[in-house]
Structure 1
């Protein structure tokens, strides 16, 4: 089944079902020999983020269970983050290079790409073997799979959801305002994390009113991509400034690359704030009230007969 709650199940059952599905998919991706190890790392980290978004939706109803669940998946994802970040750096540079060919020779751009690939290899060599780390995570996930059966909620129905939904959205509005007032890398990254959570929550609740929530999901997806691309460029820029020259290339290519990065980031941030002002226009209270009414209609007998 998909990453969304179903009308024919209780919220507690749906939360456990979705968590189990994500765990089993993560294990399957680790065991999938057709996936490169870098792709497997990327997929597994996505599963962990979706599980964290899932439990955040019902955080108040989970009570004391929430913290250890969240910490486990956060820390497991961090074990893979350095390897994934090095790959993201290459992908980010390659996309930037498409617009840099007018100011930097193709041979120079290819040289920088090759050095970033070498850098990733050095990081992998200095770290625990990727395969071993993935195998250990797969074993641990099998244990976590059993733990999901013990998850219990203090509430059910929309009451189990309202607190987590509103709290996450409220934090998203606050971090949007903070990022607009002071668009530092830290503030933009924090806003991006809150956007991700609301995107996950919108996907989980999509069945409540598919025609309406589909548009919201698409906009949150777009916003997440805009902020993700901006964050990747920020990390690339920082790496260029702090890495030894031999890691990136001749110092002469850095200024034009920095100019392109700043230009691209400015455009991404402008688009992100435009979308963000719309999706965070409602207060958390109003959004929760709307979804609560839609939820009641969704599960009513009349709605079931339509």
Structure 2
């Protein structure tokens, strides 16, 4: 459990440094791994940067270097976003077409694929390689800075502040999305859900049973909201293609996107209602107590 606070950490600062170093070391190793394809490396690196930024958000109330360090990892992910987005849109289209009525305009469907799955954003191997080289260099510099990261609170129970904040933000984002379920609000909710999911994993050793059991539901919700985001990207690509796709095929594709979005949105709110019904302070109370016990090696931390 490298991405998790452990009793041996003793302080929040020790946990922050150990976990950050582990994630950065793994990211550099993945860039250098000859057995991984470029696409797999990009996918893993983007997830590493998300985990690192979530780690920083967990300690944000006590870390004065939060803003520049988080921005640094965000910028690394952006260097790799074009290649990743093109792959996501292509896969989203293929999944949607597999679920589509097989009798619907097969010729027009075939002509849609190249128009929306690339959109003029294809990355050459040289471009991806240059981006990975830059990311490797920046990760190395970040690794050196980690040893100097300092928090203004020592106790592990201080980490409950970040958990409470991510839970509160996820609840607020869900309420905003329910009031107006548009792509931008649903995507914001997704980001907040993923943050809170990472935070629960970071603190998994201190989670009461109910919160630990909710990890699978958080994964499900993040996947549902991720699929909604992918569909929104696909719709944007269809519109960006203008009049190039046949009108009938374009209309059918957008209608299929709309139907799938309605189903995913309804399911997302059902899952979210079960996950975020408690008040933030009530949710974090048991975690705070268990983190304090973990620091002192008390058995309650593992209960």
TM-score by structure 1 length? 0.91
Unpaired segments ≥5 residues, structure 1: none
Q: Deviations over 1:157-216 (max 9, x none)?
A: 244212222222111111110100011111111111100100000000111147544321
Correspondence list, 1:1-306, <5 A: 1-10=1-10, 11-62=12-63, 64-106=64-106, 108-119=108-119, 122-125=121-124, 129-209=127-207, 211-246=209-244, 249-299=245-295, 300-303=297-300
Q: Deviations over 1:118-139 (max 9, x none)?
A: 546x4325x9711011011101
Moved over 6 A (4+): none
* RMSD of Structure 2 on Structure 1 (CA): 2.2
Query: Hey, what's the Cα distance between the residues in 2 that align with 1:301 and 1:173?
Result: 32
Shift of 1:290: 2.3
1:242 offset after TM fit, Å? Answer: 2.0
Note closer, same or farther for the CA distance 1:145–1:169 as it changes in structure 2 (3 Å cut): same
How many Å separate the matches in 1 of 2:189 and 2:299?
39
Measure how far apart 1:42 and its partner are.
Answer: 1.2
| Distance across 2 between alignment mates of 1:113 and 1:19 | 40
* Distance in 1 between residues matched to 2:190 and 2:277, nearest whole Å: 17
Distance, in Å, in 2 between the alignment partners of 1:53 and 1:28 is: 21
How many corresponding residue pairs?
Answer: 301
Measured at CA, do residues 23 and 136 of structure 1 come closer, stay the same or move farther in structure 2, by a change above 3 Å?
same
* Cα distance between partner residues in 2 of 1:305 and 1:24: 28
Taking the aligned partners of 1:47 and 1:34, their CA distance within structure 2 comes to 18
Contact 1:92 1:233 in 2 (8 A): yes
In structure 2, stretches of 5+ residues that fail to align are: none
What secondary structure sits across from 1:223 in the alignment? helix
Q: Identify which range, 65-74 or 251-260, moves more after superposition.
A: 251-260
Contact 1:153 1:160 in 2 (8 A): no
Maintained 8 Å contact 1:209/1:298: no
SS for the counterpart of 1:236 is helix
Kept in 1, the 8 Å contact 2:157–2:291? The answer is no
In the alignment, is the contact (CA less than 8 A) between 1:180 and 1:273 conserved in 2? yes
Q: String of CA shifts for 1:235-273, please: whole Å, max 9, x gaps.
A: 101210122444xx3222111111111111111111110
Secondary structure of the equivalent of 1:8? helix
SS at match of 2:99: coil
SS at match of 2:9: coil
Which SS does the other structure have where 1:123 is aligned?
Answer: coil
| Alpha-carbon distance between aligned partners in 1 of 2:182 and 2:302, rounded to the nearest angstrom | 51
